[in-house]
Amino acid sequence: MKINSTQVLYFTLSAYIDTGSLKYFSFFIVLFLYVLIVGSNVLLIVVICVNRSLHEPMYTFLCSLFVNELYGSTSFFPFMLLHILSDVHNISAPLCFLQVFCVYTYGTVEFTSLAVMSYDRYVAICHPLQYNSLMTSQKIAFLVSITWLPPFLAVGGAIILSSSLQLCGNIMDKIYCGNNSIIKLACKEPRVNNIYKLFMTFLTVCVPLSVILYTYMRILKVCFSGSKQTRQKAVSTCTPHLISIINFSFGVSIEILESRFDMTQVPGVLRMFLALYFLTCQPLFNPVLYGLNMSKIRKKTPCNCLIIWLTKGRNKSVT
């Protein structure tokens, strides 16, 4: 018997495991991660916005990246916290599609943000004298808009197609709603969805990845032929960005493998950890990467300012 998509009022997330008396411990661990993510990203957004010395293209793109980290983690963690405490892991169909939209736009915006940041580093290292003339305020606004607008339009189209499918089930083997999981529940082969998925992959993954590879090939060429000072500048500014790209690519690879292949043989605890890694690897590590590696941000953080103020006060009292 076919179940029409309009008759599916809720989806069941079957990947949650019964932790028994440990569920409150799990709850506080996940809550701690969420608070840490929100606190660190909000701190760096405020630091960049308040300090005029950080109103440069690189820090503008970083601020956009941190906003996306908040957006992505907020689309996942509140739902997970509720499911950890609950014995029934159901989510209404509208909320499920909303979560799919938020999680997928987070991932695609993250990739395009990293591509835009790699282009910015390419201009700064390969064309330092023309940097200010090339990276105008209009161009920065354009780059930020293409970071957000195409992913939202692409994912929105995927949600429209998925929501119109006839479904023959409502059980997902995941801890959050995924578009591929919804497509797997379709009563017949969704050819249009599969074709659109290929287009979306090209637009949101292949194009940003091509930009990243091209810019870093040019940066490496300049580093090998440039001075020691150029190499040092490239290493100091590109290292956190490269680590971020590798970290996110690893998380995305895990998510793709989990959504494409049968993971029922994998222990539930490991599957929950892998899902958590995809949605926490960037929001948790990026503030640390950029906050510690970039001296301008590090010097402007409240903790560092407090240390400097206390040190000056101590020196004055000694003199």
CATH number of the domain residue 191 falls in:
1.20.1070.10
DSSP state at residue 7: G
Q: What's the half-sphere exposure (Cβ side, CA atoms, 13 Å) at 289? A: 22
In the predicted model, what is the mean pLDDT of the chain? 82
CA distances from 286 to 39, 60, 62, 295, 296 (A): 13, 15, 9, 15, 16
Q: How far apart are CA 219 and CA 64, in angstroms?
A: 23
Contacts of 297 (CB under 8 A, 6+ apart): 44, 47, 48, 54, 59, 62, 290, 291
Q: How far apart are CA 106 and CA 123, in angstroms?
A: 26
Q: How many domains does the chain have?
A: 1
The model carries a pTM of 0.85
Which tens digit of pLDDT belongs to each residue from 54-92? Answer: 788 888 999 999 999 999 999 889 988 888 888 888 899
Which tens digit of pLDDT belongs to each residue from 12-40? Answer: 888 787 777 778 888 898 899 999 999 98
Q: How far apart are CA 44 and CA 290, in angstroms?
A: 9
Residue bearing the bigger pLDDT, 195 or 272: 195
Which tens digit of pLDDT belongs to each residue from 81-123? Answer: 888 888 888 899 899 999 999 999 999 999 999 999 999 989 9
Please classify residue 143 by burial: count the beta carbons closer than 10 Å to its beta carbon, then call 0-12 exposed, 13-18 middle and 19+ buried. buried
Q: How confident is the model at residue 185 (pLDDT cuts 50, 70, 90)?
A: confident
Residue bearing the bigger pLDDT, 287 or 237: 287
Q: How confident is the model at residue 312 (pLDDT cuts 50, 70, 90)?
A: very low
Residue 103 lies in domain = 5-318
Q: What is the pLDDT of residue 1?
A: 34
Q: Quick check: 152 pLDDT over 90?
A: yes
